[in-house]
């Protein structure tokens, strides 16, 4: 019987994914795709990746760009710390590595936003380095095929998976093997309804043999999902909305968003006091629910119609035309909310 790696390499040639826009031996493009693919599916990433490459065809251009431009292109992709680290990493490579990504996975892993598995993937795909990856897809494949018990996020289980992943590495064709593991987990050994009948390693799969495919990998221990409520002022005037830049860290760090109202504040009084605006009308809008990884945010927006856009006295605020929202680095739920503001009876002369 062929080894695990040999079987996957042969399968990849015929059944794996080919022709993805980042499947080139270019460390910049591989790195960009690997960061975008963290916790995000290929189909979602492709259009974002293509827009990034069109705007920033090389590392130097990305490093020289303002962070706001990067966040604007990233808007809607989520997990915005990735975008901030992407920008930091580009500058770190320009300043510390002469503008070229190092081939050594250990050096790559020292860069912002690049962990051990991502570093190995970048090195394997770009330089053919013999290094093991262990992303979510690979953890699932290995846990099922080799019957690894325990939640993969547990330190001891993760260590065992790393040891196993390194022991399975082939002597050659590591880039093909790496892609094969990703593709197998993404297209065959999926979290729900895995296609075991099409799996090239079904004959050696412990989970399939023992009827435990649905049990492995062991799921994350359940925790109560925290709920948070937030009031947001949709301040409108002259066809524009007042936006405020969020602090660089925390929820939506560095993005433009709607001003957040204090829990018990009178909306009109707060807007007048904070921004010096004359309020004509306040009306509650439909609540919007947005699920993050660790909590759920219930957005309670209130439309606030004011006389006219005033000059923003704070450097962190600006008036954004509603017909040019695509130019602003907005969180997905805020963008969705603003794009729905089409009720003429509500907006009145705000347009």
Q: Which DSSP state fits 248?
A: S
- The pair of three-digit structure tokens given for residue 255, joined into one six-digit string: 């993005």
Unique residue bearing structure tokens 């093991």: 132
Residue 319 C-beta-side C-alpha neighbours within 13 Å:
18
- The pair of three-digit structure tokens given for residue 351, joined into one six-digit string: 């347009």
Give the three-class secondary structure for 122. helix
Give the three-class secondary structure for 175. helix
d(CA 96, CA 301): 45
Buried b (16+ CB within 10 A) or exposed e, 276-291: ebebeeebebeebebe
Residue 34: active-site member: yes
- The pair of three-digit structure tokens given for residue 114, joined into one six-digit string: 């690049």
- The pair of three-digit structure tokens given for residue 309, joined into one six-digit string: 């856009």
Q: Are strands 226-237 and 295-306 parallel, antiparallel or unpaired?
A: parallel
Catalytic residue among 34, 158, 260, 302: 34
d(CA 143, CA 43): 25
d(CA 218, CA 214): 9
What amino acid positions are annotated as catalytic residues? 34
């Amino acid at each position: 019987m062929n080894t695990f790696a040999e079987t996957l390499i042969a399968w990849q040639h015929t059944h794996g994914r080919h022709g993805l826009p980042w499947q080139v031996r270019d460390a910049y493009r591989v790195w960009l795709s690997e960061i975008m693919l963290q916790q995000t599916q290929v189909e979602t990433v492709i259009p974002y990746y293509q827009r990034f490459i069109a705007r920033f065809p090389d590392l130097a251009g990305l490093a020289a760009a303002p962070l706001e431009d990067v966040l604007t292109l990233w808007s809607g992709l989520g997990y915005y710390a990735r975008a901030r680290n992407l920008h930091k990493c580009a500058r770190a490579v320009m300043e510390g590595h002469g503008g070229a990504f190092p081939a050594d996975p250990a050096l790559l892993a020292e860069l912002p936003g690049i962990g051990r598995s991502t570093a190995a993937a970048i090195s394997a795909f770009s330089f053919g380095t013999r290094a093991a990856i262990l992303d979510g897809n690979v953890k699932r494949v290995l846990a099922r095929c080799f019957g690894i018990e325990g939640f993969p996020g547990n330190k001891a289980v993760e260590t065992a998976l790393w040891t196993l992943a390194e022991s399975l590495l082939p002597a050659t064709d590591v880039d093909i093997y790496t892609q094969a593991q990703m593709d197998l987990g993404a297209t065959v050994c999926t979290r729900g309804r895995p296609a075991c009948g099409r799996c090239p390693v079904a004959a050696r799969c412990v989970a399939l043999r023992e009827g435990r495919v649905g049990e492995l990998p062991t799921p994350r221990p359940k925790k109560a999902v925290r709920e948070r409520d937030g009031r947001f002022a949709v301040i409108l005037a002259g066809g524009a909305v007042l936006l405020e830049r969020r602090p660089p860290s925390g929820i939506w760090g560095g993005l433009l968003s709607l001003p957040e109202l204090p829990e018990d504040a009178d909306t009109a009084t707060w807007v007048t006091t904070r921004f010096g605006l004359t309020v004509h009308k306040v009306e509650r809008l439909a609540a919007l629910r947005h699920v993050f990884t660790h909590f759920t945010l219930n957005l309670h927006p209130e439309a606030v119609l004011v006389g006219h856009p005033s000059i923003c006295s704070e450097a962190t605020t600006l008036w954004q035309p509603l017909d040019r929202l695509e130019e602003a680095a907005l969180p997905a739920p805020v963008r969705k909310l603003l794009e729905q503001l089409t009720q003429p009876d509500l907006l009145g002369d705000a347009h």
